[in-house]
Amino acid sequence: MKNVVRIVGGSLLAVVALSYLTNHDYLWGGIRETWLRGWENAQIDDLQFREHVRTIPASSDPQPWPEGPLWGKAVLSEGAQAWHEENKSASFLVIQHDSLVHESYFRGHDATTLTNSFSMVKSIAAMAVGMAVGEGLVDEQAPLATYIPRFAEGMDAGLTVQAVLQMRSHIPFGESYKDPFGFQAKAYYRDDNRTLLEPYRVSGEPGTLFEYQGGNTMLLAEMLDAVREGNLSMDIANGLWEQMGAEHDAFWGLDGNPEDDAVERAFAQYYATTRDYARFGQMILDSGAWKGEQLLDKAFVTRMITPQNALTDEVDADFYGYQIWLGRTDDGLAFSMMEGLRGQMVISVPALDLVVVRTGYAKSKKKKRHLPVASYEVIEMARAML
């Protein structure tokens, strides 16, 4: 028995040592955050595990959402309530005409709970690019090599900033969170994302293939770091969060110690309240403005929520813009959607002056016109209350 214990113990030590020697030690943190908590992969309540974050401070002039005429009257139907329970929702918020219509919380969450954006933050990163475009620091039509010189040769030279914004880079990053050895798991859990990014190059004609991958968002963040001082958190804090009157601090996960020049994990790990997430949706509704103040260039926001096949003939994708999903309801109403791994959604429906936010721990894998079926379902839940 002692020999068995000795062998098992020695084997475990060898595995741990090998993981550190091969730069796979991030796996242990990932296992602690997921499998040991009963989850398959990353979850919305993992802020507690973030060793290094940057703070996006609450606004010095907080602006609570006013209560609209339907507040207190609009309620979830029994079917909608069952849907949220079945899909492990954490929150559901409806805003129309800049005012609260309905708000529900589940699973112990409330209006002050911070949850992980996952890929919703890709849209926020695109807004940071929009600010740089508005300041003349970035040209969407320029080659990416203008800002990141390692893309100056061969097929890489044909890759434009716009193609990266639209997920048309043709760089084979991979997007699976389930593969513990894949690009996305490494980007989420390990240190030094820039070293991880460095060897990746275009593998086919750039601009000709839509492929949704967080590596593209990471490239955008690297580009921004090349053209301005500061960091992504400062961009959002100083250019949007303060002006939009955010009521709570937000946090953005880093890929290491900030004293070692760590950067934001630009594709995920933005932590905010449901009500504060809704501010981004309202700003999109208002073409980049907040209560009359233009925060993002209006023309940029228009391009951001324009289907990419309307801006280029290189692809036929009509369901994605600049780091944001696009769709139409069954009766033809256009909407944009910031969307994340667990069915996090900030949906803007211009024709109804409507913002819908849903956060949760799970979502159905079913899709409809390239978007999660859940996105259409939560829109209809909101419309039923109006």
Q: What would the pLDDT profile of 196-207 be if each residue is shown by its tens digit?
A: 999 999 999 999
Examine the pLDDT at 34 and tell me if it is beyond 90.
no
Q: Please report the pLDDT score of residue 37 as a whole number.
A: 73
Higher pLDDT, 7 or 267: 267
Higher pLDDT, 70 or 6: 70
Distance between alpha carbon 8 and the CA centroid of its chain, in Å? 41
Examine the pLDDT at 68 and tell me if it is beyond 80.
yes
Q: Which long-range contacts (CB under 8 A, 24 or more apart) does 330-339 make?
A: 330/376, 335/379, 336/284, 336/305, 337/371, 337/375, 338/117, 338/119, 338/120, 338/122, 338/123, 338/124, 338/277, 338/280, 338/281, 339/119, 339/120, 339/371, 339/372, 339/375
Q: Please report the pLDDT score of residue 180 as a whole number.
A: 82
Q: Please report the pLDDT score of residue 3 as a whole number.
A: 55
Examine the pLDDT at 174 and tell me if it is beyond 90.
no
pTM confidence score: 0.92
Region of poorest pLDDT, from 39-53, 148-162, 243-257: 39-53
Examine the pLDDT at 52 and tell me if it is beyond 80.
yes
Average pLDDT over residues 111-137: 98
Q: Please report the pLDDT score of residue 323 as a whole number.
A: 98
Q: How confident is the model at residue 24 (pLDDT cuts 50, 70, 90)?
A: low
Q: Please report the pLDDT score of residue 48 as a whole number.
A: 92
Examine the pLDDT at 16 and tell me if it is beyond 60.
no
Higher pLDDT, 43 or 229: 229
The DSSP bridge partners found for residue 146 are none
Q: How confident is the model at residue 43 (pLDDT cuts 50, 70, 90)?
A: confident
Q: Please report the pLDDT score of residue 27 as a whole number.
A: 59
Q: Cα(299)–Cα(228) distance, rounded to whole angstroms?
A: 22
Q: Cα(2)–Cα(204) distance, rounded to whole angstroms?
A: 56
Q: Please report the pLDDT score of residue 6 as a whole number.
A: 55
Region of poorest pLDDT, from 41-45, 232-236, 280-284: 41-45
Examine the pLDDT at 10 and tell me if it is beyond 70.
no
Examine the pLDDT at 32 and tell me if it is beyond 80.
no
Examine the pLDDT at 8 and tell me if it is beyond 50.
no
Average pLDDT over residues 228-236: 97
Examine the pLDDT at 238 and tell me if it is beyond 90.
yes
DSSP collapsed to 3 states, the chain: CHHHHHHHHHHHHHHHHHHHHCCCCHHHHHHHHCHHHCCCCCCCCHHHHCCCEEEECCCCCCCCCCECCCCCCCCCCHHHHHHHHHCCEEEEEEEECCEEEEEEECCCCCCCCCEECCCHHHHHHHHHHHHHHHCCCCCCCCEHHHCCHHHCCHHHHHCEHHHHHCCCCCCCCCCCCCCCCCHHHHHHHCCCHHHHHCCCCCCCCCCCCCCCCHHHHHHHHHHHHHHCCCCHHHHHHHHHHCCCCCCCCEEEEECCCHHHCCCECCCCCEEECHHHHHHHHHHHHCCCEECCEECCCHHHHHHHCCCHHHCCCCCCCCCECCCCEEEECCCCCEEEEEECCCCCEEEEEHHHCEEEEEEECCCCCCEECCEEHHHHHHHHHHHCCC
- The proportion of the chain whose per-residue pLDDT surpasses 70, expressed as a percent, equals 90
Region of poorest pLDDT, from 5-9, 79-83, 187-191, 228-232: 5-9
- Summary mean pLDDT of the chain: 92
Q: Please report the pLDDT score of residue 42 as a whole number.
A: 80
Examine the pLDDT at 302 and tell me if it is beyond 70.
yes
Average pLDDT over residues 333-352: 97
Going along the chain from its start, the domains and CATH numbers come out as 2-33 (no CATH), 46-383 (3.40.710.10)
Query: Is there a contact between 106 and 362 (Cβ–Cβ < 8 Å)?
Result: no
Q: Cα(267)–Cα(69) distance, rounded to whole angstroms?
A: 37
Q: Please report the pLDDT score of residue 4 as a whole number.
A: 47
